[in-house]
Amino acid sequence: MSLSMRDPVIPGTSMAYHPFLPHRAPDFAMSAVLGHQPPFFPALTLPPNGAAALSLPGALAKPIMDQLVGAAETGIPFSSLGPQAHLRSLKTMEPEEEVEDDPKVHLEAKELWDQFHKRGTEMVITKSGRRMFPPFKVRCSGLDKKAKYILLMDIIAADDCRYKFHNSRWMVAGKADPEMPKRMYIHPDSPATGEQWMSKVVTFHKLKLTNNISDKHGFTLAFPSDHATWQGNYSFGTQTILNSMHKYQPRFHIVRANDILKLPYSTFRTYLFPETEFIAVTAYQNDKITQLKIDNNPFAKGFRDTGNGRREKRKQLTLQSMRVFDERHKKENGTSDESSSEQAAFNSFAQSSSPAVSTVGTSNIKDLCPSEGESDTEAESKEEHGLEACDTAKISTTTSEEPCRDKGSPAAKAHLFAAEPSGRPRDSGRLDKASPDSRHSPATISSSTRGLGAEERRSPGRESAVTAKAEEARALPSKEAFAPLTVQTDAAAHLGQGPLPGLGFAPGLAGQQFFNGHPLFLHPGQFAMGGAFSSMAAGMGPLLATVSGASTGVSGLDSSAMASAAAGASAATLPFHLQQHVLASQGLAMSPFGSLFPYPYTYMAAAAAASSAAASSSVHRHPFLNLNAMRPRLRYSPYSIPVPMPDSSSLLTTALPSMAAAAGPLDGKAATLAASPASVAVDSGSELNSRSSTLSSSSVSLSPKLCGEKESATSELQSIQRLVSGLEAKPDRSRSVSP
């Protein structure tokens, strides 16, 4: 147990979870090394606070190191990667006005999650949307009481495999289907002060899971940025679209910002809790999971043995299977028999599964998941624990604390799954394989951004990352729109953090997100959330403008108009997403900005960008650039400093366009690294200048392949910058906002 479950994951680590990462990572790393190495490394090396920091850096660095060395797994400590002195110098550049915060996040009801995880958590997805159970709840600490934060959650693919429940176990059944467009769920109370967030348990129970591709619950908001986290293509919504029989990993993000509009420029601190990993299903596969749900979910009381009505039916059914029945009894009695039996089964699964896994042969070894090897007893005990207990538990995992081990590594991924398997089989195989790593990695994760964040702050730049489109492969047609997007990422860094934030989440995180790359859409509901969006409209104006280039305020425009305008203005920016979706290289077609507005899928011209292809990658960058431009405005915000960040990010993106996508996680790291340098420049200099400088620099660093893109991107960026500069002249309300 100790393993993974408790610890939060660091952003960087998240990479590990990403299916694509493995593929991308290499490229990314290479490019990073080749072109950006100097800059990147420093960034990466940022020493995090303690363990947490380690985890991230390690995760990030590892891929790169591997590339360099050509060895899959070097044991090189991330600390050895780069000079920290460098970072510090950068750090000095950062503004320090802000009160530093060191957010820590604890997963609530961890015990409950563990119980499910052991058996391989399954979450039902329906056309109309189904809530998660257990509900995702966290408790935050270490926030600046006065500052405002936006808390978000999203769910990313844990690997690139498709699963099947066979012989009581989850086994890999092939390669994953194309990813569905990802959506970010913004907590309805956002933005709120640190004090407010820390005073209560933050729950995301309203988030629904669906397999309905045409789900409209998500609103698209155009986000100009290429924030790593957002990958340039991220939508917001109250419902997350998932593929059945695929494994997913929920992520929690803390963004210090007082306005949603600032998200793109802000630093994301991402936290992963391996125990919350689950497989999406349209119908429960594992009876044990079903029983756990019934036993713990209040709405399923009617199915409890003790309950009325149905329970009897259920019982009968149950009786049919002795095992199940027995297990229940045990539960009722409070005995662990069930669990033990389960465990046994589980173990067997693991074993069996492992082979299966291996057979799978997908790139994801991780899928195989290392089994955590939890003892049956543990599992049992956990199982028996009621949800409530879990809930109360809050936290165990703080993100920051644990260093992330290798989350990034596949093994780590395996871990996560493994945990699941525990209960069941499915992954057991993986578990076994990965076991060593996996455990660690997952666990480690915890720190995620946060730890980084602190550090990051210190080091101004780090972050940016890159990403690349990469995904193309993944990109799917249906989702295609998204897929293509792939964008870069990294951003994390760039954003906000100027100083610190970048770190945190950055690399890893960015990477994670990136793969998803979708267009960013804001979900109406989310907006509804309130405060966060309140200013959005106003804020959007600037963004749009930046994106579009000149378009005057977006606000007036309807989404479509906006989009078109944006497209026209800065073709570069939008394109990617749009391209995919729309086709039009320009993205115009895309939907309007609904985000702010009522429209449902608006695209952000800028945001979009995500184009899938490398070319697109370049484009992405542009968007970023815009963002960067924006930043200055944003400065007000703590992150504003981020200005540099954006730059860096842009740089990264430009530099490693293709990679970015692939790299996802890596990107993040890379980005951070790259970013740092860039950021530095930014900080010191004017935003615009910094940007351009960054851009140029990025281009320089770019690898040969990227060069072409770079150039185009650069030109685009420049144009964008010009536009931006023009825009900048305009006042930004958002600036004032910053916490």
Give residues in contact with DNA (CB under 7 A).
124, 126-127, 130-131, 133, 164-165, 173, 208, 211, 244-245, 281-284, 290, 293-294, 297-303, 307-310, 313-314, 316-317
Rounded distance between C-alpha atoms, residue 623 and residue 264, angstroms: 11
Helix residue ranges, H only, 459-558 = 482-485, 494-497, 501-516, 524-528, 531-534, 536-548
- Counting Cα atoms < 13 Å in the Cβ hemisphere of 94 gives 39
Rounded distance between C-alpha atoms, residue 119 and residue 165, angstroms: 12
* Continuous segment of H or E residues that includes residue 172: strand 169-175
* Continuous segment of H or E residues that includes residue 149: strand 148-166
388 CB neighbour count, 10 Å cutoff: 12
Q: If you count them, how many residues does the chain have?
A: 739
CA dist list (Å): 340 to 362, 411, 422: 31, 26, 11
Tokens of 273: 């809790």
Tokens of 357: 């896994």
Rounded distance between C-alpha atoms, residue 460 and residue 140, angstroms: 24
Which has the closest alpha carbon to 501: 246, 254, 131, 193? 254
Q: Are 462 and 163 in contact (CB under 8 A)?
A: no
Rounded distance between C-alpha atoms, residue 7 and residue 401, angstroms: 8
Which has the closest alpha carbon to 224: 506, 569, 694? 569
User: Within its chain, how far is the Cα of 634 from the centroid?
Assistant: 23
CA dist list (Å): 42 to 63, 98, 527, 732: 15, 23, 38, 32
Q: Are 727 and 702 in contact (CB under 8 A)?
A: no
Rounded distance between C-alpha atoms, residue 115 and residue 33, angstroms: 42
> Looking up tokens 């680590």, which residue turns up?
13
Q: Are 308 and 302 in contact (CB under 8 A)?
A: yes
Rounded distance between C-alpha atoms, residue 38 and residue 713, angstroms: 21
Which has the closest alpha carbon to 555: 590, 597, 606, 592? 597
Q: Residues 142, 87, 693, CA angle at the centre, nearest 5°?
A: 110
Q: Which amino acid is at 459?
A: S
Rounded distance between C-alpha atoms, residue 575 and residue 606, angstroms: 8
User: Within its chain, how far is the Cα of 718 from the centroid?
Assistant: 29
Residue 310 or 730: the one with the smaller Cβ distance to DNA is: 310
Terminal-to-terminal C-alpha distance of the chain: 39
Q: Are 605 and 566 in contact (CB under 8 A)?
A: yes
> Looking up tokens 């770190």, which residue turns up?
503
- Counting Cα atoms < 13 Å in the Cβ hemisphere of 141 gives 14
Which has the closest alpha carbon to 512: 254, 246, 203, 159? 159
91 CB neighbour count, 10 Å cutoff: 24
